[in-house]
Structure 1
Amino acid sequence: MANTPQAKKRARQNEKARKHNASLRSMARTYLKRVISAIESGDVEAAKGAYAAAVPVIDRIADKGIIHKNKAARHKSRLNTRIKAMAA
């Protein structure tokens, strides 16, 4: 446990940041799940709409360092490939 005042403050700040980051990660997962469920239902237009809504969210959390930029790119690429395969 933290003993000095500044260590106690850092512990409080870290906990607050951890909760905020967890919230953002959860939001990104929700958007990803919406795209995946639209793909699995076979609705191309719904999948495209969900993908368009998910991309800025994924990019935003990657910019903030919540997830790695390559992980964000991988998610976007794989979802886009699946949507294009549906349309073909």
Structure 2
Amino acid sequence: MANHKSALKRIRQNAAKRLRNRYYHKTARTAVKGLRNEVNKEAATEQLSKVISLVDKLAKKNIIHKNKAANLKSKLTKHVNKLA
């Protein structure tokens, strides 16, 4: 266990940030899953911009890697374009 006040504070801050990052990551994963399960092209196109925005925000905050964000956006865009 940490002995210094600053180390104790750092532990508290890290715990709060970890919870916040888990929330953001889980929210984005749920949004991605919803988009992948969408069969209506109009609804999927509408959702795509929101999901891309979420993924970009995660990459900007270093919650996910920028290349992973780019790969996700590419795959989701291909999926939406394939819908009939």
TM-score interval w.r.t. the shorter chain?
Answer: over 0.9
Aligned CA RMSD, in angstroms, stands at 1.0
5 Å-filtered alignment, 1:48-59, equals: 48-59=45-56
Residue of structure 2 aligned with 1:76, choices 66, 73, 76: 73
Structure 2: segments with no counterpart, 5+ residues: none
Sequence identity (%): 39
Corresponding position: 1:61 with 2:58: yes
Structure 1: segments with no counterpart, 5+ residues: none
Post-superposition shift, 1:13?
0.6
CA distance in structure 2 between the aligned counterparts of 1:3 and 1:78, rounded to whole angstroms:
48
Post-superposition shift, 1:57?
0.8
Length-normalised TM-score, structure 2: 0.93
CA distance in structure 1 between the aligned counterparts of 2:82 and 2:25, rounded to whole angstroms:
27
Q: Which residue of 1 aligns with 2:24?
A: 24
* Greater than 4 Å deviation, 4+ residue runs: none
